[in-house]
C-alpha cells in the first residue's frame, strides 16, 4: 500500500475547543463553522497522588453530566446535517479529532481528545479500508507529536474502547487520546522491570520478550515488520500484543515500511476478534491500547499495542473478581496457547 496523502485542517468549535480534520484528498476544503451557541468549557480536573501506591489519580467530577447513550439521530460524533448540529460541523468527514467537551484531564493537568474514525455511524474500525486505517494511524501519529510537545505532558496514550460491555457511552466508531501529566502506573512498572533486566543481563527487556515470543507457539499473525502474539502470561481471555520488529519509542518514530504494513495487520486482528465467538455473536467488545514511551524514557521503552476483550465465551463476560480488582492478581480462564490457536483459526481466508 502506498503512503496515503494526508491533508490536515485545524479549526475551532464554538466554545474554543480545537477540531482537526485529517483528509485523504489534498483538495478537500473544511470551512464549515460551528453555529451552536456554546459557552466556553469549564472543567475542574484535579490530579491527586496516592502515597501508598505512588500513583496518580484524576478527579473529574464534572464528567458526571457527560453525554450518555444518545439515540443514533442525536449522536454528537456524526456529521452535522440540516438543523442538527454535532461536534463536527462538516456534513461528512474522513477522520476528525477534537478536544473532549467532558475531559478527565485539562489545562495544566493534561488534555483529552476524541478521534472519530469515520463519519459512518454504523461502521466499526474493522470495516475501514486499509487506506482509511492508514489515515487514522497518521492522525494518531500527528496528535502524539503535537501533544507530547505541550508543556507538562509526560506521556501520550492512544486507545479505543469498543462495546457497551467495556463501558462505551457513544456508539459511533471512535477512540480517544490522553495526554498525561505523569507517567502512567502500567508504564512505570514496565520501565522499572526493564531497568532491572538491563542491569542484570545488559539487554533490552522488550527485545528479549519479542524474540522469545516470535520463536514460540503463541504467534497469531506475523508480517515483515510486525508480529502479533498472545503473551505467555496473558491476563485476559483473548489478549494480543503487536510489536514492530525494530524497537521504537512511539508512533512518531516508526519507519516508512513498518508504518505502511501496520494498517493491514491491525485490521486483520480486529476482524479476527469479531469472528472469535461465531458468526451469530454480537460484535466483540475490546480495548485497543497503544503503549508509548514517556518523555523521559525513550531509550529503553518499546512501542506496542495491547488488544484484549472482556468476553471469555459466547454470552459470557470476564468480570474482575475480588483478587483482580482488590489485589491486582489476575486469574485467566483461557490458556494463552488455546487463545492463540483460536485466533489463528479465525484468520481471513
Residue list for the binding site: 75, 78, 121, 172
Does the active-site annotation cover 245?
no
Numbers of helices and strands, H then E, in the chain = 6, 15
Provide CB contacts within 8 A for 59, sequence distance 6+.
45, 46, 47, 48
Locate all alpha helices (DSSP H) within the chain, ordered by sequence: 130-148, 185-201, 205-214, 256-275, 322-327, 336-345
Cα dist from 25 to 29, 131, 260, whole Å: 9, 12, 18
Q: What one-character DSSP code corresponds to residue 106?
A: -
Q: What angle do CA 15, 21, 295 make, to 5 degrees?
A: 85
Structure-derived torsion over alpha carbons of residues 118, 121, 122, 124, reported in degrees to the nearest 10 = 40
Describe the strand order of the beta sheet including 226-229 as a list of residue ranges.
7-12, 18-23, 95-99, 111-116, 174-180, 155-162, 286-291, 304-309, 238-244, 226-229, 219-222
Annotated binding site for Zn(2+): 75, 78, 121, 172
CB 178 within 8 A of CB 186: no
CB 251 within 8 A of CB 141: yes
Give the residue among 157, 149, 225 at the shortest CA–CA distance from 187: 157
Locate all alpha helices (DSSP H) within 215-335, ordered by sequence: 256-275, 322-327
Residue 150 is placed in which grid cell?
Answer: 505541550
Q: Look up cell 464549515; give the residue.
A: 32
In the set 12, 56, 69, 174, the catalytic residue is 174
**Cα 221 versus chain centre, distance:** 19
Give the residue among 241, 254, 243, 223 at the shortest CA–CA distance from 306: 241
Give the residue among 83, 104, 80 at the shortest CA–CA distance from 19: 80
Query: What positions carry a catalytic annotation?
Result: 174
Amino acid at each position: 500500500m502506498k503512503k496515503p496523502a494526508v491533508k490536515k485542517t485545524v479549526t475551532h468549535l464554538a466554545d474554543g475547543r480545537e477540531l482537526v480534520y485529517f483528509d485523504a484528498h489534498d483538495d478537500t476544503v473544511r470551512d464549515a463553522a460551528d453555529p451552536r451557541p456554546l459557552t466556553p468549557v469549564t472543567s475542574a480536573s484535579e490530579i491527586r497522588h496516592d502515597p501508598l501506591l505512588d500513583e496518580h489519580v484524576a478527579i473529574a467530577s464534572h464528567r458526571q453530566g457527560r453525554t450518555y447513550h444518545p439515540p443514533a439521530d442525536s449522536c454528537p460524533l456524526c456529521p452535522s446535517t440540516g438543523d442538527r448540529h454535532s461536534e463536527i460541523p462538516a456534513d461528512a468527514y474522513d477522520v476528525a479529532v477534537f478536544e473532549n467537551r467532558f475531559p478527565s484531564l485539562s489545562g495544566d493537568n493534561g488534555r483529552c481528545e476524541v478521534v472519530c474514525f469515520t463519519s459512518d455511524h454504523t461502521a466499526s474500525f474493522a470495516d475501514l479500508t486499509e487506506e482509511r486505517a492508514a489515515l487514522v494511524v497518521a492522525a494518531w501519529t500527528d496528535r502524539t507529536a503535537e501533544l507530547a510537545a505541550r508543556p507538562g505532558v509526560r506521556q501520550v496514550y492512544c486507545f479505543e474502547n469498543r462495546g457497551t460491555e467495556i463501558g462505551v457511552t457513544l456508539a459511533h466508531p471512535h477512540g480517544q487520546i490522553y495526554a498525561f501529566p505523569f507517567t502512567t502506573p502500567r508504564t512505570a512498572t514496565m520501565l522499572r522491570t526493564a531497568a532491572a533486566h538491563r542491569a542484570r543481563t545488559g539487554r533490552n527487556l522488550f527485545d528479549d520478550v519479542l524474540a522469545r515470543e516470535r520463536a514460540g507457539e503463541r504467534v497469531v499473525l506475523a508480517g515483515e515488520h510486525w508480529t502479533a502474539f498472545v503473551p505467555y502470561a496473558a491476563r485476559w481471555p483473548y489478549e494480543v500484543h503487536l510489536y514492530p520488529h525494530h524497537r521504537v519509542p512511539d508512533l512518531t518514530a516508526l519507519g516508512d515500511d513498518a508504518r505502511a504494513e501496520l494498517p493491514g495487520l491491525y485490521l486483520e486482528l480486529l476482524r479476527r476478534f469479531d469472528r472469535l465467538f461465531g458468526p451469530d455473536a454480537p460484535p466483540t467488545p475490546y480495548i485497543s491500547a497503544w503503549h508509548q514511551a514517556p518523555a523521559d524514557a525513550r531509550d529503553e521503552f518499546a512501542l506496542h499495542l495491547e488488544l484484549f476483550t472482556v468476553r471469555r465465551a459466547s454470552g459470557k463476560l470476564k468480570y474482575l473478581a475480588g483478587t483482580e480488582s482488590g489485589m491486582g492478581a489476575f486469574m485467566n480462564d483461557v490458556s494463552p496457547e488455546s487463545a492463540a490457536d483460536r485466533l489463528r483459526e479465525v484468520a481471513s481466508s
